[in-house]
Amino acid sequence: MKDCEPYVQKASEKWDFSDFFHATHTHSQRKTHNPQRYLPAALTGLFLLTCDAVFGADVLYSEYQAKQQQSAFAFPLEEAIALAVRNNRLVKSAYVQRISQKFDLYVSEGKFYPKLLLTTSALTSKVNGTSSNAKDLNTNASVTLPTGATVSIANVQGRSTSGKSSSTSVTLSQPLLKNAGIDANTASVRIARLDDEISRLALKATLSQTVAQVIYAYRELLRAQEQKVIAEAALARNKDLYEVNRSLIAAGRMAKVEILQTQAEVANREVALEEAENQIDAARLALVALLALEPRTPLYATAPTSVDWRPTDPTRALETALTLQPDYLSMKILVERAKISLDYAKNQQLWDLSLVATRTQARSGGASPGAMDIQASGARTGGSYAGLQLTIPFGDRSIKQPEVRASVDLHTQELKLLETRQTVEHRIRDATRNVQTRWRQLELSIKARDLSRQKLEAEKEKLQAGQSSNFQVLSFENDLRNAENARLNAQITYLNTLTELDERMGKTLDVWSIPIIQTNGYEN
């Protein structure tokens, strides 16, 4: 934005209306005039100045736009990827979602942590003119063990006008059938951990897709830039041919009418050059949007120094995909999750048989002035019990429903896993074949371009010698331009095919050394 400040300053200096609205001429001060006499002239002058300002602003903006294009800086692909990982809004949103997802895991893993609940109250009542006060403090502590056992301690302390009271109870409940065992009680925690792993894989997939989109958009900008270079070279060659035609016409070796072909071709190349510049701006805007930059940010894509052949083995590529590909790994986790859900649903079909035991102790005391405390003045009572508790449901069809649903879900997830594996294998084999094909096409396109260039140069020499026609040279010129574009498209397609293969294998982040940033977690 600093580049546009001089233009803003020039505009403000050029169109300063302070002198117009505040005349300071000595003659005007000495002589009094009717202001209405000058109103039409003032309005006319203001209109002319306004029009001048509008057209002048257009000129200044064109100058600024031209300067901005000239100031476009080289932007390597690595920097574009790093900027996208840091600025892309979709990536930011995915990281923000991870905070909530990790907190969900934190909550689930706190299932077996002790819990404490404090409740207190202070009440004042008045009945028939007699006031009374009561204060209570209830303390409840409980802990659930991985075996399913629940141990709870409850303590009640009370103080009122009539006296003091205190009671403490300890309760133990251990399921023996339903909800018994480590597998049944840790099912929710294991499912939460699997869900968190799925969320992490989803973040990895989002990062990989974003990086791939940036790479594709970057290469589209590179393609547009190279197409402009090709268009400029083609225009220059046609202009050179136009000068050759004029020389031949002046020498009487070519009919004047034949130069029209060259003039038409020059006009067509100018149109193609304009379109190439338009494509550059369109590709730049697409890349800038992915990078979350200001739309007028000038960027210039840099071409790779070399494009080399990368051997690809379908078998190894498939092994890598089955190890790293987020979609396939997520499906495997979903199958494992469905198995846990089915085991838990089967456990819920059992009778509810539990071992229960309770120990209670209570104290109470009066409010006599001589009483030192509850132990000295109050009564003390206590009791305990232990036994088995059995609950058997009858006639409830919904009890079987979760097991049926879990069984169907497991079968469905297993089928989806097989389908996903087949899809991954097909995509890997298709991508590896494309890599080989695109490389061969690149080699052939380079050869075709070189031959087209040699063919054109030879035809130009024949034209100088009067052994060829202007039409033939223009035809060969079009062949060279098409060959150069074909070589460019083959190179971009080959590079994109490599990127596509990396994405299908799940290696995009590894190839570009992009770590998954760990969000602030919660310590248990």
* DSSP state letters, 154-171: EEEEEEETTEEEEEEEEE
Where are the alpha helices (H) located in 110-186, listed in sequence order? 182-185
Mean pLDDT on 209-215: 97
Same domain membership, residue 252 and residue 326: yes
pLDDT (average), residues 475-503: 95
- Determine the residue type at 458: A
- Same structural domain for residues 448 and 356? no
Q: What is the pLDDT of residue 48?
A: 37
Do 246 and 221 share a domain, yes or no?
A: yes
**Could you read off the pLDDT of 273-303 as tens digits, one per residue?**
999 999 999 999 999 999 999 998 888 999 8
Confidence of residue 442 (pLDDT cuts 50, 70, 90): very high
pLDDT confidence band for 244 (50 / 70 / 90): confident
* Last residue in a domain, options 367, 391, 415: 391
- Higher pLDDT among residues 170 and 35, named by residue: 170
Q: How far apart are CA 303 and CA 279, in angstroms?
A: 17
Domain termination site, one of 44, 71, 98: 71
Whether residue 269 sits in one domain with residue 176:
no
Q: Is the pLDDT of residue 493 over 70?
A: yes
Q: Residue 187 contacts by C-beta under 8 Å, 6 or more apart in sequence?
A: 340, 341, 343, 344
Domain count, the chain: 3
Place of tokens 């040699």: 454
User: Which CATH number characterizes residue 265's domain?
Assistant: 1.20.1600.10
pLDDT at 27: 36
One-letter identity of residue 185:
N
Using CB atoms within 10 A of its CB, is residue 36 exposed (0-12), middle (13-18) or buried (19+)? exposed
DSSP designation for 397 = G
Residue 125 carries which DSSP code? E
Other beta carbons within 10 angstroms of residue 271's beta carbon come to 12
Is residue 364 domain-shared with residue 345, that is, in the same domain? no
Containing structural domain, residue 210: 78-112+203-349+403-511
Examine the domain organization and report whether 218 and 310 are in the same domain: yes
Is residue 340 a part of any domain in this protein?
yes
198 in a structural domain: no
Name the residue among 75, 77, 144 with its Cα closest to residue 108. 144
Please state the rounded mean pLDDT for residues 87-101. 94
User: Is 37 domain-assigned?
Assistant: yes
CA angle centred on 224, ends 219 and 230, rounded to 5°: 125
| Residue ranges with strand state E in 35-114 | 73-75
Whether residue 188 is contained in a domain is answered as no
pLDDT higher than threshold 50 for residue 390: yes
Q: How far is CA 176 from the centre of its chain?
A: 48
Q: Is residue 193 part of a domain?
A: no
Question: In this structure, are 33 and 50 located in the same domain?
Answer: yes
What local confidence, expressed as pLDDT, does residue 71 receive? 59
User: Domain check: are 108 and 14 in the same one?
Assistant: no
Do residues 491 and 425 both lie within one domain? Answer: yes
- Phi-psi region at 342: left, alpha or beta (left = phi > 0; alpha = psi -120 to 50): alpha
Same domain as 309, residue 215:
yes
Of 196, 215, 208, nearest to 505 by C-alpha is 208
Q: What is the pLDDT of residue 75?
A: 87
Residue 110's pLDDT band, with cuts at 50, 70 and 90, is: very high
Do 126 and 137 lie in one domain? The reply is yes
Judge whether 378 and 163 are in contact, CB under 8 Å. Answer: yes
Mean pLDDT of the chain: 84
pLDDT at 26: 37
431/310 Cα distance (integer angstroms): 13
Q: Is residue 321 part of a domain?
A: yes
Q: Supply the pLDDT for residue 95.
A: 94
Separation of alpha carbons 181 and 185, rounded Å? 6
Separation of alpha carbons 191 and 261, rounded Å:
74
Number of other residues whose CB lies within 10 A of the CB of residue 119: 10
The two tokens of residue 291 are 């990078």
Residue 150 in this model has a pLDDT that exceeds 70 = yes
Q: Is residue 517 part of a domain?
A: no
Q: Is residue 427 in some structural domain?
A: yes
- Distance CA(261)–CA(276), nearest Å, equals 22
Nearest to 68 by CA among 303, 292, 290, 281: 281
DSSP designation for 140: E
Is residue 516 a contact partner of residue 204, using CB atoms and an 8 Å limit?
yes
Q: What is the pLDDT of residue 250?
A: 87
Residues 302 and 440 in one domain: yes
The type of residue at 394 is: F
